[in-house]
Amino acid sequence: MWNFRFFLAFALVALSLAVAAVFNWRSRRVTDPKGLPGRGQPLLDVAFLAGGPARVVDTVLVRMEREGRVVISRARRVTVTSEGTSDPVERVLVTAVGGRAGRDLSVLRTSVTGSPEVQRIGDALAARGLMRHPAALKAAWRARKLVVLALLVTVVLGVVSTVQWLDDPKWDTTAPPFPPYGVLVLFTVISLIATRPARSRITPAGRRQLLLVRGSTPWRPYEVAAEHAELVGAFALDGTLALRASEHRALREALTGPYSSTRPPRSSRGSGSRGSSDPGLGGSAGTGTVVWCGSTTTSSCGSSGGHGSSHHSCGGSSHSSCGSSSHSCGSSSSSCGSSSSCGSSCGGGGGCGSS
């Protein structure tokens, strides 16, 4: 009888390991492999890689403020002074600000960060192998739980088989069950350790890319006017650490409120990049956390718990809960309600707001 149980345990372990291996491979797969662009990488790609979606929105605000296209008041209200835009994220931001009355900076961040235009930047970085897509990483960690479950079943079956073998009057004439069970348990434990999915959503290639952008001289992104390129480039890499000069004090104070990208909660392990965070796990500071959960061209969702809580911007065909086709989540034209599927889809495997 114990032989049947052993083969059942073996089949469960083999199947769970195969499933986990497939999802682990998918989390590391690069669908659009390209060489590292070095210092020629677009501004918003660098901002996302260094600080996540929150850094993207703040970088756009800093660029537009330096170029005189928006004004950020001391009351933390953003007003558009010129509706000219140069990229999709700027268009989303201008639309979200609305009329002359402007919009509160925290509300604006929440709206723009959850838009597909911002989330899609992370998707493109994941396709190039600079980041790991959150949905694939989440699936890999879930598949790993199947292996743990199979291991527990194997241990239980092994204990039951051993007890029955010892109670058998002919136990001394039959083969003991615990050696093969022990080998199977040991093999499963080693497999769990050896095939552990990554926790950081930024890949080694992504870290190398950040080092290339930093280089030995200040980075000047080509999309920004020459007189502001050094400051905006430094902000994309380091957040408000780049605004230490006294003339930038007002802007720095405006950007260091809730849901900002000022001081990341934790640096990417081994990234070697000053001030950079793991953008997939959080790229904000203060009282809020802003995360990347992936997106599609049709939907996104965002939720904000208010001051002192986390802001989760999630998207994807399997986790969408938007009640409107508009990309301006939480803006005056539409609002995307959050759902339990959004809140749960970000957890685990480097889940939302962790690092």
Q: Per-residue pLDDT tens for 264-323? A: 434 333 333 343 445 443 333 332 334 666 554 333 334 333 333 333 333 333 333 333
Q: According to the model, what pLDDT value does residue 2 have?
A: 66
Q: Which two tokens stand for residue 163?
A: 């007890």
pLDDT (0 to 100) of residue 292: 66
Strands (E), 63-130: 70-72, 77-80, 103-104
Least confident of 149-158, 252-261, 282-291: 282-291
Number of Cβ atoms within 10 Å of the Cβ of 88:
16
CA separation for the pair 97, 109 (Å, rounded): 10
Q: Is 202 helix (H, G, I), strand (E, B) or coil?
A: strand
User: In this structure, what token pair is assigned to residue 21?
Assistant: 């291996």
pLDDT tens digits for range 125-147: 988 889 888 888 888 999 999 99
Q: With bands split at pLDDT 50, 70 and 90, how would you rate the model's confidence at 75? A: confident
Q: How far apart are CA 145 and CA 297, in angstroms?
A: 31
C-alpha to C-alpha distance for 310 and 288, rounded to whole angstroms? 5
Average pLDDT of the chain to the nearest whole number: 74
Quick one: pLDDT band at residue 43, thresholds 50, 70, 90?
very high
Residue 181: exposed, middle, or buried by beta-carbon count in 10 A (0-12, 13-18, 19+)?
Answer: buried
Give, for 173, the enclosing helix (H) or strand (E): none
When pLDDT is averaged across residues 162-167 and rounded to a whole number, the result is 81
Q: Is the pLDDT of residue 35 over 90?
A: no
